[in-house]
Amino acid sequence: MSIFRRLREAIRRGPSGVLLPAWREVTGETPPVTFSEITTVYLAEYAAKAAVDFWADQAVGAGFYTSCGSTAEYPQAQDAKDVVDDFCEVVNLDGLLHQGAREVVGAGNSFWEKRVPRKLEDLVILPLTSIEKILRTQAGEIRGYKQVATYGGKTLAPETIIHFRWNPVNGEAFGTGILRVLLESLAFNGEVREGLVEYKARIEKIIPDVFEKHAGPDTLWVFEGISDAKLADYQRIIKARPKAGAAFVYNKPADVKAVSIDPRTAFQPYIDHVINQYYLGLQTPLPKLFTTPGFTEASARAAVEMAEAKVVALQRFLKRIVEREIFTPVIEQAGLDPVKAGCRLNWGTPETLDMKTLVGILPQLTDVWKSGGITTEEFRTILRETLLLKQVAEAPKLPTPIEKKGN
């Protein structure tokens, strides 16, 4: 075993010192912001949903493909790739990644359950709201994932769960998504400031009241020289007028004056500040691109380019977990060596040669094959992957050349 693998195993076993408060081992750890709140914000807040979908689509929307190491160094590498591809198709890994990426971005967590933990045959994504707490030892070792009572209240064994934990803060058992900061309250100097989502919701609740009150100016009706009793009658008549307006007839001088609105009711700068803070929390230029006048194509391109680093980081996070927690056990179950096979998840679509280019290099490729520079299997693999053929049998039938010794 290499020094790096020994070091990784030592880290996995955990340090001997105490990392977590003792009470956590007994009571478990709950999400700092409940998954129910996060789910509600995702479904009800337009900008929040747009931001989460934007990040997830940027990361996994283009799909993925798998690759393996050289069959010259490990003859079974292609077999390992076939095993992984078959598993991905059976469990619809592409669909799981689309759902899981949204949960990771929005909530910082996604929990995938292995239906047969000792032999990986199927994967399902557990509802976020089904997880109540995570049980860990003081050294940080996971003991179980406890579900809420409505989902049976069971404690799931750690080997049955693939936990995508994105951006854990201060050693927390749960990850942190972009929606947490919008819901988290702030305690400072003995005061508690509500989360930005709640503050924004209060403003939006008030807006219709302000609009109804000030959409049309308040008016002052002046009737000179009439009695108080007659004025009371007129007040009832005026209040009963429909909102669309109605004629009022009187045979003596009358005056209607508009009442000016207090300029302090112009809260636009304050609202803009709250909205800008909200968008900053979502970490995406998408809402601004759609809602702010004056955004040019160049500025939109620059904003999207700034987001690419975050997308790449998210892709690497998902890739490493999938390769370690899914590809490796699937290959091992087939009796193959995952390290030598070198199967990798790659985002996007594979780069392939077009037919014209392939025809141009085919004579040279054939000469290399005939001379024994590459094996028949490698030759067929190149043709199959270049032409995007699904089965080895679909590749051209080739005679077996005299191969170099050791191939």
pTM score, whole prediction = 0.70
Q: What is the pLDDT of residues 82-133, one digit of tens each?
A: 999 999 999 999 999 999 999 999 999 999 999 876 778 889 999 999 999 9
How is residue 29 annotated by DSSP? B
Q: Where are the domains of the chain?
A: 11-178+283-350, 355-394
Provide the pLDDT for residue 393: 37
Structure confidence at residue 388 (pLDDT): 45
pLDDT of 84? 94
**Alpha helices (H) along 215-296:** 228-239, 268-282, 286-291
Work out the angle between the directed axes of helices 93-107 and 46-60 (0-180°, nearest 10). 130
Query: What distance in Å separates the CA atoms of residue 248 and residue 269, rounded to the nearest whole number?
Result: 40
| Residue 227 contacts residue 252 (beta carbons within 8 Å) | no
- Summarised one tens digit per residue, pLDDT across range 247-275 is 666 666 667 666 665 555 566 766 776 77
Tens digit of each residue's pLDDT (9 = 90 or more) over 317-369: 999 999 999 999 999 999 999 999 999 999 987 765 555 566 666 777 787 77
Confidence of residue 18 (pLDDT cuts 50, 70, 90): low
Distance CA 47, CA 284 (A): 10
One-letter-per-residue 3-state SS of 151-184: HCCCEECHHHEEEEECCCCCCCCCCCCCCHHHHC
